[in-house]
Structure 1
Amino acid sequence: MLPLAISLACLIAAPPVGAKDPAVTFDPRTYHQVHIGEPTQIMVLGTPHLSGTPENWDPSVLEPLLDRLAGFKPDAIAIEALTGPGIDTMWAYRATHPDVAATYGGRAMALAGMSRVTLAMDMPQAEAEVRRTLAAWPKAPTPEQRRRLAALFVAAGDPNSALVQWWRLEPAERKADASISKLLARELDAFAARPNENHLIAARLAVRLGLERVQPTDDQSDDWDPAMDQPIKDFMAEPWLAELLADPKFKALAEASRNLGTSDQTLATYRMLNSAAAGRLDADGQWLNMLNRPSPNQVGRRRVALWETRNLRMVANIREVAARFPGRRVLVIVGSAHKPWFDAYLGMMVDVQVVDTAGVLAR
C-alpha cells in the first residue's frame, strides 16, 4: 500500500498538465485550446430593428441574407426576446418596471392569456409541458401535435417559437383545433405580419433548417433609477449627441433599417453593420461619449453600467443555450449595438469560438 500512497500524494501535489504559473492572473481564455472536442461556435449577427423599416417594405429582400445564415448551419438560434420566466417576472414587478413590462412583455402576456381558453395552463405550467413535449418529440409529428406545441409555446411566453411550429405546418393546417382557438390562430397570423427580425430572420431560418424553436435570450431587468430621467434628458440634449447623429458615418448605422430596399442593398447593409469598424464606431459613438465627458450626477457612467449589465445578462442566457450544444453551432440575432459587446464577452468563454460574421456574409 505504501507505493500507492506515495503515488497518490505525488498526484495531489503535482500541478495539472498545462497549468500556468499560479502567480499569473487567471484568464478564462487560457482554456480555449484545452477542452475535449471541437469548440462551440457562436456567431453574432448584428441587425437593424426591422420595426424601423418603411411602410410597405418587402421582407423578400432578406433572402440572400437567409441563404448565408443557413450556410452557417446553426443548431440553435438565439434571439433578442424575453424568456417566459423573464416576462412573468417583469409582469409581476410591473409596478417597478411599468414601461418595460408593457413594451416587452405585454403582447406575449396577451397571447398567453388567449391560450388559456384551450390549454388551461399558466406560464410556468406551460413551460414545463413544453420541455416534456420536446423531450418526447417524434421525428414526424402530426399537424395536431405541431398545433398543440405552438399553443404551448404561446402559453409559455414564447410566441416566436410558436411561429416556428405554425410555419412548419402546411398552410391548410394552420387552423383552429382543440389546442388553438380561432382567436389565437388569427392573432398568430397578425403577430407574424409584424416587421421584426425575430420573425422574419430567426423563425424563418429555423423553419428552413428544420429546427423546432428559437431561443429567447433578452433581459430587461437592469434597474434604472427614475430620479435619473431628467439628468439623462439634459445630458442627451447637450451638443455632443446632435453632432454624433449628424456624422455621416454614424448616420449610416442609425438609419440602417431604411437601407434595406433591395436584396443587394440589404446584404451590403448587414455586411457593414457586422464589420469590426462599424462595431467600434457604434460603441465609441454611443457609449464612450457617455464616459469621457462630465454628466449630471454621473448619469453617463450610470447609463453605461446598466448597458453592460444588460449585455452581460443576455450573454449569460446565450451561454446557457450554448451549454446545450457543446461543440456545435449557435447563431445569435440581436440589435447591432449589442454585437461588439457580445463578441468581446463571448470571446472570454472557455470553449467558445466566436465566428467572424462579416466573413460568413461575404461568401
Structure 2
Amino acid sequence: MTTPPRLEVLNLTRAFDGAPVVDNVSFQVQAGQVACLLGPSGCGKSTTLRMIAGVDMQDSGQIFVDGKLICDTDFRVPPERRAIGLMFQDFALFPHLAVRDNVAFGLAGGFKANRDRVTELLDRVHMSAHIDSFPHELSGGEQQRVALARALAPRPRVLLMDEPFSGLDERLRDGIRDETLALLKEEGTAVLLVTHEPHEAMRMADQILLMRKGNIVQQGAPYNLYNAPVDRLAAGFFSDINVLDGTVQGALTDTPFGQFLTPGMPEGAQVDIVIRPQHLKLDFDRAGQGPAPTVENGTAARAKVTRARYLGRESLVEFATDQGNITLNATVPGVFLPPAGTPMWLMLRRDRVFVFPRV
C-alpha cells in the first residue's frame, strides 16, 4: 500500500477583490522533506501558507494531511486540530513567559506535565542553559532556537515556516539554518518553507516550488531548477544573467559568439540567449587582433574591459563586445582586476547556454 504524502495541496485558489492571488496551486510534501515556496514578494507564497494553516479560507481546492482531508470549501478542520505547526520571522515568543513555558505553551498541562519533552528540545537546540530566561534576555539567534523548539514541541505532522531567518544577522543565518534543518530531519516533520531568497531555498530545500503571480511555474530539486530553468525569469531568479537578444533565421540566431541553433523556434521569432556570468571564460587578446582561441563545444567573442570590481570571493568584470557593443558580465574566482580597455576574448560552451522565446 502506497504511503500518502504528509501534506498534499490540490488546485488551491484564492482571490481578493476579484484579483487572483493564488491560482490553481498543487503540490505534495513527504514526511521528512523540506519544500520551499520561492518567489518575489506578492506572488502568493504567504497566502498559500495561511490557507494551509487554516487562518485563511481558500475559494476552491483541497488540503490533505497524511491522506486525510482537512479543508475544502465545505469541510474545515480548525487550525488547532490540523497537527500543523507555525514558525514566523518575528518568532512571536510571549514576553511574560520564561523559555520553558514558551516551549510548553501548546502542550496540555504546561511545563510540569511535559518537563521531559521541553528539556529534550531545549537541549537539542542548545538552549538548556536559558530554560529560566525571558525572551528579552536572549539574542535574535537564541530566540529563533526557542521558537523552533516551541513549534516542534507538539510533534506537528507539518511545519510551516514563513521567512523564519530574515530577522537574523547574515553571519548567524547559515549556522542556524543548518541546525534547524538537522533537527527537522530528525523529527521526520514535513516542512513547507516560504522565502524570497534563492540562496536560502537552494541551501535548505529538497524541492523548490517557484511561484510567480499566484502560479507555480516550476517545481523540482534545486539542481534541476538551477540547471534547467523553465524560462528567462526563472533563470534570472537564481543568479545574475547576461541576455543576448536575436532573431531566428533558418533555425539559427546570430550573436557575437557566432550562430546558435534554435530548433523548434519559428522563422523570425525573437529569442533571448541567456548566459550566467560564471560560465563566461576569459583569455587575454594580447595582440589586440589575435586569432580566436579554440573552445570545446563553443566559440569566442572579442571584447574590452569596461570595469572590474573585487567582491570578496570573486571578481566581477564588465565588458563591451566589439561586435554590437553589447554589455556582458563575467565572474572570476579570487582577485582579477584588469584595467578598463584591456582587450580580451570571452568564451563559452554552448551546453551552458539557455535559449528562450522572448516574452
Query: TM (normalized to structure 2)?
Result: 0.25
- Determine which structure has the larger helix proportion and give its number: 1
Query: TM (normalized to structure 1)?
Result: 0.24
Q: Which is greater in Rg?
A: 2
- Determine which structure has the larger strand proportion and give its number: 2
Q: Which has the higher contact order (CA 8 A, sep 6+)?
A: 1
